[in-house]
Each structure stands twice: as structure tokens, then as C-alpha cells.
Chain A
Amino acid sequence: MEGYIWNFNAVLPYKDAIVSGAAVTLQITLLSIVIGTILGLLLCLARMSRNGALSTLALCAGEVFRNLPVLVVLIWAFYALPSFGMRLSAFDAAVAGIALNLAAFSSEIFRAGINSVPKGQREASLALGLSEFQSMREIVLPQALRVIVPPLSGRYIETIKLTSLASVIAVNELVHVGGNIISLTYRPLEAYTAVALVYFVMITPLVFVLRKLEGDKWQTA
């Protein structure tokens, strides 16, 4: 493509569409992170529970959503679920697929974090009369966070990038907007470059915030 003449003026008129695409990307990201993290914690607690059936169920659910490509889950949730009487909007199917993927990965991150806290810490709190729940909230989880935050923030960054897959089921997020602009302007290089720039502008500050968060965790070992 030597000699290609770049012309960003062609895509400039669509900047509002790009901004609204970025907004949808952020919405999917935020919802997926909130839902995926809560589900991941629940999945982890189920996995670690003394109830064998519950633990096995959590193990299986985790394996399924860790091992299936997110793209396949999205497509399946959008096209196949309606035949079971569950009709999700494209947006909801995207959030469901991405959140379940995050839940599966984060549950293992939570489990590793909780297991990294010495058993005596929990035992000391139970001995003082704290309930299992209080002991988890006050003693185990805060210490586990040191081990949890770095890999979890990595998954969060990954989650933003995964939202681009939602374009396949026609959610009007950033990549899909890019595609629309191309079909109107026949300027794929400019359109995708613009899309890439917007991703970069969204993700880079987040990386810095998360890195700061890792550094802030209490320092003493």
C-alpha cells in the first residue's frame, strides 16, 4: 500500500458516532466487570465450600466458561438461547458472555488469593468468636487482595478488549461503529486507526490507575 494517501478528514464527520461507540464499549466493560467480579467471588466461595455437590458444580461452570472462546459464548447466547425461551438483547448477550468469562477466570484468582493467607489467620478470628463471614470480610479477603489485585487488574484490561467481540452480534460498540463508518466512507484504514486510538486513550489511563492501586496495597509482608 505504498503511496496510500491518508485522509482522516473523511472520517472526521463521524466523530460523534465514535464517541457513542466508545460509550457503549465502556458500558459493556463496566457492567461485565461488576457482574463478573461478583459472580467470580460467588463461584470461588462455592468452589471452596464444604458441600461437595456445590463445589463440583462450581468447578464445572468455571471450566466451561474458561475454556470456551468468548466469541462462541456470545453467539450462542444471542442466537441459541431464544430457542430455550430466553431472548436476550444483543447488548445483554454481550454482557452475559463477557461477564461469565471474567467470572470463570477471576474465581481462580480469588481462590489463589484466599489460599495464600495462612490458615492461622482465619483460625485466630474464629477462636475470638467471629463468624466465617466476618472472618472472610475482615481478615482473609483484605490480606488476599495483595495477591488478587495484580492478576485481576490484568483480567479487567482484557475485559475491555473482549468487548470488541460484541460487534459480531451487532452491538453498536466501537468496532461496530468503525465498520459502519467504513461502509459509508470506504476508508477502512482511517476508520480502524481512529478506533485503535480511542481504545488506546481509554485503556492506557486505566492501566496507570490499576498499577497505582497495586502499589498502594499495604506494604508490609
Chain B
Amino acid sequence: MANSLKISGISKRFGETVALELVSLEALPGQVVSIIGPSGSGKSTLLRCIGLQGIDSGHIALGSDAIVTPQSGDGEIRALRNGVGHVFQDFHLWPHKTVLENVCLAMIEVKKMPRHVAMAKAIALLERFGLQGKAGCYPDALSGGQRQRVAIARALAMEPKVLLMDEITSALDPELAGSVAKTVRELAREGTTILAVTHDMGFAADISDRVIFMDKGRVVEEGTPAEILAFPKNERTKEFIGASLAKSAQR
């Protein structure tokens, strides 16, 4: 299918360190897949391998548009990159550009849209995320939740087929995290495939069709949120979920 993301047996090493070992996963159009796991388990590296850096084995396919293998050159990685949108953990908004410019820039520079068309589209996106009054602001003047919505709007402006989100709720209070979960579900309903790395088990339960547990660069267990979060089978998964739940109970 056109929007499905298929990752088959990819590995990634940094020098001697193995960051990813034969990781496979598939996300169908409109599906939300969460990736959970301890720090250093390779979750963020996995997202970065989808369009931002090369891989050492296996392949990544985005529908029929792009396929990236270890032999792929810049052109093929670019093709994959054009089909995906990244929302980074710290958002990486551009501080010297206004909210509107942050959202417009890639449409103008990469898609060569006329400025007024890009601006109209950006304003529509900002309205959708409740940011209509903030178009002329610089990112510094925004709250954490607003920044994050700008980051999502910026990624969506390029109409990605797959949206990759790296711990986007880590800086938000539970209420805001809840509203982000709603947004993510909406995007999925519209057909965007979503891959979200998270430490927030509640968020994973709220948004996901499927949950993947990773440890030491490998996929350990995968299933529905109920299967992984409530009734994990693997010992390592049980241990991690147990610890996470104990920690949120403390709060």
C-alpha cells in the first residue's frame, strides 16, 4: 500500500557499538505504532534511520515511492526523507524565524510553492492547532505545548505520508499530553501513518494501534497496547512495564 512503512531487518552500528540489530516493523496507512523501551535501546536511532542517516543492513520501504538499502546514495535517502516528517524531541524550531516562517519555509524552498499559497496553507494549519494568534511570534514567546504544535504543523506542511515523533510529550504536562494524543489520533484517521517513540505508557496506550518494545537495539515484543502494556509475555518486557507503572504510581 502506498503509505505503508516497511522496515526489514535493519542494523546500524556506530563504530563498535551496535545501535540496531535486525529490526523489522511494519506500519500500515493510518496506523499508530508506538515504540517503547529503556534509554539507549535504539528507539531514537531507529527514527533517525528513516531518512536522516544511512543503515548498515536490511532495507526500509515507503510504499512504492522509496526504498533505502545500505547501498543507497543521497538521492534515495532524500526520496525516503521527502515522504516522512520528523517531529523532534526538542522540536528544533528555528528561533530566528517567526512561527509562520517556520511552517512556510520548506513549502517555499523545497516545494517551490508561491509565497501566498504557502502562507495560506500554513495559516490553515496553525488554526487547526489553535495557534492562529501566534503566526507572527518567535518560538521563544511560545509555551512548550505551543512549540510542539508548531513543530507538528511544520512537519505536516510538507504532507508527509509517515510522521515520526520522538518523545514529543516528554516536556508536557498530562493535560497537554492528552490533547496531543487527540491530535495524533485525528491525523491517523486522515490516513497519516504514525510512528511514535515514547516513555509515557499512558500516551502509548491512548494513541496506539500497536506497541513495540525494544531493548538493546532489538525488537523484543510487539502487539496491541493491551497485549504489551497489560499482559506482556516476555520477561524483559514485564520488568520494564512493571518499573514504568510503579514509577507513575509514585507520582
Contact = CB atoms under 8 A, between A and B. Distances in A.
Interface string A134-167: 1000110011000000000000000000000000
A124 B140 contact: no
Max chain B CB contacts within 10 Å: which of A118, A123, A128? A128
Interface string B151-179: 00011001000000000000000000000
A124 B110 contact: no
A129 interface: yes
Contacts of B238: none
Nearest to B82: A129
Interface string A167-204: 00000000000000000000000000000000000000
By secondary structure, the A interface counts as helix
A123 B109 contact: no
B63 to A, nearest CB: 17
Given A124-B92, A143-B96, A130 B106 contact: yes
B94 A127 contact: no
Contacts of B85: 127-128
| Residue of A120, A126, A129, A138 with highest tally of chain B CB at under 10 A | A129
Interface residues of B, number: 24
Contacts of A138: 105, 109
Contact of A127 (B81, B109, B141): B81
A220 interface: yes
A139 B94 contact: yes
Q: Which 5 A-B pairs have the closest CB atoms?
A: A124-B92, A128-B106, A120-B92, A129-B110, A127-B86
Given A123-B92, A129-B78, A134-B110, 7 more contacts: A120-B92, A125-B94, A126-B52, A128-B154, A130-B109, A218-B138, A221-B140
